[in-house]
Amino acid sequence: MEKFIDVMRHGKIAEVVLNRPETYNAFNLEMISSLAKVLTGLATDDQVY
């Protein structure tokens, strides 16, 4: 699976960047799944606001 989501941390702030430029970041099932996993992980991370 390609990496569609980039997560960068700046202290207690997490920046989530969509990384599928060849399709102008259009959503597909893989990208939606990746985004859901990333956001769920960040929502439960005490190190992120």
3-class DSSP string for 8-32: EEECCEEEEEECCHHHCCCCCHHHH
> In terms of residue numbers, what domain contains 19?
5-43
**According to the model, what pLDDT value does residue 35 have?**
95
Q: How many domains in the chain?
A: 1
With respect to residue 18, please indicate whether it lies within any of the assigned structural domains.
yes
Sign of CA dihedral 2, 29, 34, 24: positive
| pLDDT profile of the chain (49 residues), mean per 10 | 85 95 94 95 94
Asked whether residue 49 is assigned to any structural domain, the reply reads no
| Residue at 34 is within a domain | yes
User: Is 36 within a domain?
Assistant: yes
pLDDT of residue 1: 42
User: Does residue 48 belong to any structural domain of this protein?
Assistant: no
Has residue 29 been placed in a domain?
yes
> Does residue 22 sit within a domain?
yes
